[in-house]
Structure 1
Amino acid sequence: MLRYFTLLVCLCWLVPVQAATGQTLRLALDADPVSLDPHEQLSEGALQYSHMVFDPLVRWNTAGQIEPRLVQSWQILDSRTWRLQLREGVKFHSGNDFTANDVAYTIARLQESTDFKALFGVIDHVTVENPYSVTIHTRHSYPLMLNILAFVFPIDSEYYQGRDEITKFGRSFASANASGTGPFMVTERLPGQKLTLTRNADYWDQYSPGNIDQLEWIPIRSDSTRLAALMTGDVDVIASLSPIDIQRLQRKPNIHLASLISSRIIMLQLNQSRRKELQDWRVRRAINLAINQELIVKKILRGYGEAAGQVSASQFLGHVDALVPEYDLAEAKRLMKEAGYEQGFSLSFMAPNNRYMSDEQIAQAVVGMLDKINIKVALKTLPKAQYFQQFDERAADIMMLGWQSDTLDSNNIFEFLFACQNPSTGRGVYNANGYCNKQVDDDIDSANREMNPERRIRILQRIERKIKQDAVIVPLHWQAIVWASDTHVDIDPVLNFQNFPYVGDLVRHSEAGTQ
């Protein structure tokens, strides 16, 4: 359970780390960032990139605690007012100084972003007190302020001013240019081929052990090709491994595997707005009962995942122990008959084929499972860049989605995926269900204001039970995070349960070195 405290954080005296330099790291992932704009898309890939080129105000450490980054300390003045003291002496890649104006500018920009505005709508305004201090004023009491500050990656206001338009999946100055404060600077970008980053020689964090001078982010869509590149030494680190590949690598002495179960929930969204059949609770419930989550985890994921019966992971306050997977094919058939669809019907289904572990194979398995209750599914899979454009258009009756709670809290999932859609506030921006329930929305509002932990737990669990009762979506599993590297790369210390590796702190040992 995550707990939140009123506190003033002070930094202890530390000795700067002296790390060997001159190391190049070749990182192969299933895709490269769709944009260089850190505020364009709220996605895992975008946030992985942001932690390389920009810096957050605060971040989660490996123990699940918040630690200062560009914010040096913070203080709660009252239930609606936070004072942040910023780090001095930090420069953007352009050479401009990082100041309080950049923080205020960035938060205002985030409030205009389609993907981020719901996260930051709670902020009423930001006051610049002096060049290195800001005060954040919220619209109401809010228990998760530090959690959302982990998603504030300040941008260079002087560099972007007048050309800071956020264009999702489009062409803009910010999508093709970057000036952050992070450990790496963008030196070359060939979309779909390679993103080259070089170490920021003026990086403020002298305590980082990182010794990577050049980072090459190479997108390799195919799991097998990515694996082969690691095994032949063409790349040093890979992620998004298939379960079969994991088993192969376990027998390779020169390859290191690192894995952990994340809180990312993989689910199927059932669009009630597109099909009248999906407006019937009995049909949605039947679909849930016809899909065998345990079998998917065992046979397709080879145990690298945890079958889910709800969207809240066990470490979240909204988790309800009694809500577990319920595969029951006989009951699913009975409900289809009762709803008048014993002979079935057809649905369209879209899923990515390079975003989540074994996503395409899981989608194919779902097609076979739904066929057993006479639902004929037309499946189309796409690379993730194209897929999420289709997702934004709600282009199919069933759509696969994975969600990592940005605030490591149940209410983030509820607010983005189950709240009534509201383009002006960003509420329900990833709601492809067509679900809208006033009581759920009211409870989401209450949870966003409630400072008493016990009362807040009761609210969040009530929402979780209601989503289950209404069979809004099909929860599949919580995904495992698995990375593989050459044994000379010390990958474990920079990994975390959000899957945003802090590559700026990564150490690569020379061939003659020791681990």
Structure 2
Amino acid sequence: MMNRTISRRALMQWALGGAAVLQGISWTGLAQAAANGQLRIGMAAPPTTLDPHLKSNAPNNALATHIYDTLVINDEKSISRPGLATAWRVVDDTRWEFDLRPDVRFSDGEPLTVDDIVVSFDRANTIESTASFRTYTRNINSITSPQPGKLLIETKQPEPLLPNSLSRIRIIRAKFKDTPSDQFNNGTAAIGTGPYVLKEYVSGNRVALSANPNYWGPKPALADVELRIVTDAGARLANLLAGDLDLVEQVPYEGVARVQKDERFHIIRGVSSRVVFFSLDTFRDVTPFITGKDGKPLDRNPLKDLRVRQALSMAIDRSAIVERLMQGNAIVASQFLPAGAPGTSAAIKPVPFDAATAKALLAEAGYPEGFRLTIHGPNDRIVNDSKIVQAVAQMFSRIGLEVSVEVMPWSVYADKADAHEFSINLDSWGVNTGETSNPMTALVATQNPDAGMGIANSGRYSNPDLDAKLAVAKRTLDDAKREKMLSELSEIVFNDVAVIPMHHEVLVVAARKDLQFTTRADQYTLAMNAKTV
């Protein structure tokens, strides 16, 4: 362990290759952790709950995946694989039959029953939440067991992505149906059939897990796991290099070379399905963080004008952000997924940087002198999030806007974004289905929580034409027809600048040399994906 008297500043300088000379650091932690089957992971963003049905976001879902199982598993490439269901088949347009895995037990030794499955889906569909799982449950009409070992799921309408939707709903004990979330956080109700058992959860600090002795699948290679929340990227890297951590996610790009020069560690990269974008408040007639340059409220919301949205998009030099800020560890985005992915359109190209045209569009929209704007973002959730917000603010200032920036921890930011408190804010979405109906449903469909629509639509964009066509596409079982519909919907979304796409992230993980780790498209850092070599 490192000498705790070392100043944080000195440790950071050393981790990034600076000139600081550090004393009193022992490297025995790495060998000791390996010998004991321990894994200490530095997590970039904190989970906010252990209740697997309360709030859908990547940190929460990744943590829940360690403890709870799902009927269908999303693998590292977002392909549906057997989970608690070993196989499935389409009976007709609205009925699917699933074969249940036999002899599955919860971590407390109790057997998994159909009642546990039914209760879990009902709870996920009805629990009060600002970021619910109803997107994945809203179309389920009934779940029955026609015979032992079989599950019949009937949907209200055809559901071509039902197996993928089932991979989102984690199964709990039926006895905890009405248990409040704090009982999951303290461990009382955090009983699952997953590969790990909860030992301790300290909100915003750490999660301790141990291998589940009753797990039906392959035992984790590393039985003793600690997920440490280290939101500062430099501090995560410093702790890895000091021997306090074995693996860290979201390695700061300026520290990659330092890791590569150290024979004790290696860099692991992977392709991500996460798109980074800006949400725009196109809902309110007057938006709270845009005023005249004199600070007085404007008589209308500029973001409701397509020309203003186009101007803001054109003002951003995405290539510069990818090359300089992201150091090449990203791909410029033009839509929800890279071109060629299911549901994307070849007609949509990245928006070119064009400050002159952006200024002209602002003038045409009635803002020749610009306006005053505050951009919001997290500072510990998206790779380089605060730097991205600062860079975009500078770019906006070059087209005549007076721009301020406000960033905050994800634990605070997420609730504010869900409550629609911002005018323009940095956001991201992991497109875990590998096609575009998922982000369209969550990010740009008119918000309707009861129907599972627009659950992450923080700008409250609304387009009735889009909603109607999306509803048809989502119940079209023919893959080719559905993809053509989704491609046309992508053109509607991005030609209307419903959101401003920025880039697709590339994962950069650092680990001790003897650790092999498999990255995932959804960016979940899972302990069961690590093993020693």
Aligned to 2:256: 246
Aligned to 1:193: 205
Aligned to 2:124: 110
Alignment-mate amino acid for residue 435 of structure 1: Y
CA contact (8 A) 2:134 2:449 kept: no
Q: Helix, strand or coil for the counterpart of 1:107? A: helix
Cα distance in 1, alignment partners of residues 520 and 231 from structure 2:
23
Cα distance in 1, alignment partners of residues 177 and 466 from structure 2:
39
Cα distance in 1, alignment partners of residues 112 and 80 from structure 2:
21
> Structure 2: where are the runs of 5+ without partners?
1-33, 288-300
Task: Choose which of 141, 160, 172 in structure 1 pairs with 2:182.
Answer: 172
Residue 435 of structure 1, CA deviation: 1.7
CA contact (8 A) 1:101 1:128 kept: no
Cα distance in 2, alignment partners of residues 162 and 433 from structure 1:
32
Aligned to 2:194: 182
Aligned to 2:168: 151
Aligned to 2:366: 340
Aligned to 2:86: 72
Q: Does 1:224 align with 2:234?
A: yes
Q: Helix, strand or coil for the counterpart of 1:72? A: strand
Q: How does 1:79-94 map to 2 (within 5 A)?
A: 79-94=93-108
Evaluate the alpha carbon distance shift between residue 338 and residue 258 of structure 1 in structure 2; reply closer, same or farther with a 3 A threshold: same
Aligned to 1:401: 427
Alignment-mate amino acid for residue 304 of structure 2: Q
Task: Choose which of 129, 154, 173 in structure 1 pairs with 2:146.
Answer: 129
Residue 22 of structure 1, CA deviation: 4.5
Residue 474 of structure 1, CA deviation: 0.8
CA contact (8 A) 2:430 2:523 kept: no
Alignment-mate amino acid for residue 252 of structure 2: S
- Cα deviation code 1:90-135 (max 9, x no counterpart): 1112222112111111111121244211221111111133453211
- Cα deviation code 1:305-338 (max 9, x no counterpart): 0011222333532212332222111110110111
Cα distance in 2, alignment partners of residues 458 and 73 from structure 1:
28
Aligned to 2:523: 499
* TM-score, length-scaled by structure 1: 0.89
Cα distance in 2, alignment partners of residues 449 and 335 from structure 1:
39
Runs of 4 or more consecutive aligned structure 1 residues displaced over 6 Å after TM superposition? none
Q: Does 1:444 align with 2:458?
A: no
Cα distance in 2, alignment partners of residues 497 and 106 from structure 1:
26
CA contact (8 A) 1:148 1:406 kept: no
Aligned to 2:488: 462
Q: How does 1:96-495 map to 2 (within 5 A)?
A: 96-113=110-127, 114=129, 115-158=132-175, 160-163=176-179, 165=180, 172-177=182-187, 178-205=190-217, 207-208=218-219, 210-274=220-284, 275=287, 276-314=301-339, 316-325=341-350, 326-492=352-518, 495=519
Evaluate the alpha carbon distance shift between residue 251 and residue 21 of structure 1 in structure 2; reply closer, same or farther with a 3 A threshold: closer
Cα distance in 1, alignment partners of residues 86 and 410 from structure 2:
37
- Cα deviation code 1:438-496 (max 9, x no counterpart): 1100111011111222221221111111112211211000011121110121113xx22
Aligned to 2:292: none
Q: Does 1:45 align with 2:71?
A: no
CA contact (8 A) 1:312 1:464 kept: no
- Cα deviation code 1:379-411 (max 9, x no counterpart): 110111111011112111101110012322201
Q: Helix, strand or coil for the counterpart of 1:306? A: strand
Q: Does 1:32 align with 2:46?
A: yes
Aligned to 1:14: none
Evaluate the alpha carbon distance shift between residue 279 and residue 479 of structure 1 in structure 2; reply closer, same or farther with a 3 A threshold: same
Q: Helix, strand or coil for the counterpart of 1:466? A: helix
Cα distance in 1, alignment partners of residues 148 and 201 from structure 2:
33
Residue 212 of structure 1, CA deviation: 1.2
Alignment-mate amino acid for residue 232 of structure 1: A
Aligned to 1:58: 72
CA contact (8 A) 1:147 1:408 kept: no
Cα distance in 2, alignment partners of residues 29 and 257 from structure 1:
16
CA contact (8 A) 1:123 1:139 kept: yes
Residue 272 of structure 1, CA deviation: 1.7
CA contact (8 A) 2:237 2:252 kept: no
Residue 21 of structure 1, CA deviation: 8.8
CA contact (8 A) 1:31 1:220 kept: yes
Residue 174 of structure 1, CA deviation: 3.0
CA contact (8 A) 2:276 2:429 kept: yes
Cα distance in 2, alignment partners of residues 465 and 63 from structure 1:
25
Root-mean-square deviation (CA, aligned residues, Å) is 1.8
Evaluate the alpha carbon distance shift between residue 378 and residue 458 of structure 1 in structure 2; reply closer, same or farther with a 3 A threshold: same
Aligned to 1:511: none
Q: Helix, strand or coil for the counterpart of 2:320? A: helix
CA contact (8 A) 1:351 1:381 kept: yes
CA contact (8 A) 1:86 1:100 kept: no
Alignment-mate amino acid for residue 203 of structure 2: P
Evaluate the alpha carbon distance shift between residue 120 and residue 391 of structure 1 in structure 2; reply closer, same or farther with a 3 A threshold: same
Evaluate the alpha carbon distance shift between residue 244 and residue 505 of structure 1 in structure 2; reply closer, same or farther with a 3 A threshold: closer
Residue 348 of structure 1, CA deviation: 2.1
Alignment-mate amino acid for residue 270 of structure 1: L
Q: Helix, strand or coil for the counterpart of 1:258? A: strand
CA contact (8 A) 2:133 2:169 kept: no
Q: Helix, strand or coil for the counterpart of 1:504? A: helix
289-298 vs 72-81, greater mean Cα deviation: 72-81
Q: How many residues align?
A: 479
Residue 224 of structure 1, CA deviation: 0.9
Alignment-mate amino acid for residue 178 of structure 2: G
